[in-house]
Amino acid sequence: MTRCRARSEANDTGSAISELVILIVVFFGFILAVVFAGRLTTGSARVEAAARSAARTISIARDPEAARDEAAAQAADMVAEGSALCTSMVFDPTIDRTDTPGIVIVDITCTADLSELALIEVPGNHTYHASAEEVLDVHREGS
C-alpha cells in the first residue's frame, strides 16, 4: 500500500500550480468580459441620454429650427463622438408641427469600434440607436 501512495503523490507534483494558472486565466477572462459588457451598456445609455437631451434642447428653444445645431453639438459631446464608444454619429432631428402642440423627434445613431472598447480584441463594430420625442413648448416659442 505504501507503494501506491508514493506513486500517486509523485504524480501530483506541480498540478496545483497548473490549476492556479488555469483559474487565473479564466478569472481574468471573466473580468474582461464584464468590462466589455459594461462598456457596451455605457455606450447605449450615452446615446439614449444624448437623444433625450437634444430633443429637450430643441423643444424648449424659442426658435426650434435654429436650435438644431446647438442640439447636435450637445449630443456629440454627450456621446463622446470620435472616441471608441462613438466613432461616428448620425444626428437626425424632426420637427413636426402638423398637430398642436408640435413634436420634436431626435434620432441618434452611433457606431462603436469594438476592438477598442475593452482590453480584449473583439473584431467589428456595434451600432447604437436611440430615439427621443418631446412636445414643443409653445409658451417659450417665439411667434
Report how far residue 48's alpha carbon sits from residue 100's, in angstroms, rounded to the nearest whole number.
Answer: 26
- pLDDT tens digits, residue range 71-125? 999 999 999 877 878 889 999 999 988 887 889 999 999 998 888 776 677 788 8
**pTM score, whole prediction:** 0.77
All three cell numbers of 132: 427621443
Percentage of the chain with pLDDT > 70? 86
The answer on pLDDT for 14 being more than 90 is: no
2 pLDDT above the threshold of 90: no
